[in-house]
Amino acid sequence: MGRILVAYGSSEGQTAAIADRIGDVLADAGHDPLVISTKHPPPEIDIGRYDGVVVAASVHMGDHQPDAVSFVRENLDALERVPSAFVSVSLTAATGDTDADRTTEAYVEGFLEETGWSPTRTHVVAGALKYRDYGLLTRFIVRRIAGKEGLATDTSRDHEYTDWDDLEAFVREFATVVDDHSSSAQ
């Protein structure tokens, strides 16, 4: 089985948790995953030494993390040579209506256009409301937005919307793409 890099950009930690789960599923499928942050990637990282790459980034105020954008741009050639996947994490995905689906797809398209990347697969994942991590002003603003979108407004606790089963199914499918690519390259 192959070595797969999982790189993530996260603000409140939900995307980091998602990246860790991606790594766990890849390991369970027999792969050797390495999970890193795009904010502080190891200086010696050589993406060309991996058989596949997953990049996960969350959306805040309509944009993905700048460090995730930079990471993809800086490693674009290597990303284009192996099976790769982009996982976009947003609260918009939690609402589940048609307008939200169009918005989340626009986020993905915007990221890919901004970076010039053409990943093998893309996937949209709902994030979480981390009320307990927000400052007072952010909590107030997010609560108002969440209320308008029909999401949880109880600020005394966090609310997770990630569909872990759906994420794991996507990762298992991506693992088979890496397997197929590795076996055809030999």
Topology of the domain comprising 3-127+162-185: Rossmann fold (3.40.50)
pTM above 0.85, yes or no: yes
Give the integer Cα–Cα distance in Å for 54 and 173: 12
Place of tokens 């499928």: 29
With a cut of 90, say whether residue 175 has pLDDT above it.
yes
* Residue ranges covered by each domain of the chain: 3-127+162-185, 129-161
Q: Which residue has the higher pLDDT, 93 or 122?
A: 122
Helices (H), the chain: 14-28, 66-74, 76-81, 92-95, 98-115, 136-149, 164-185
130-169 residue pLDDT tens: 898 888 998 888 898 888 888 888 988 989 999 999 999 9
Strand, coil or helix: what is 109?
helix
- What is the gyration radius of the CA atoms in the chain, in angstroms? 17
pLDDT at 11: 84
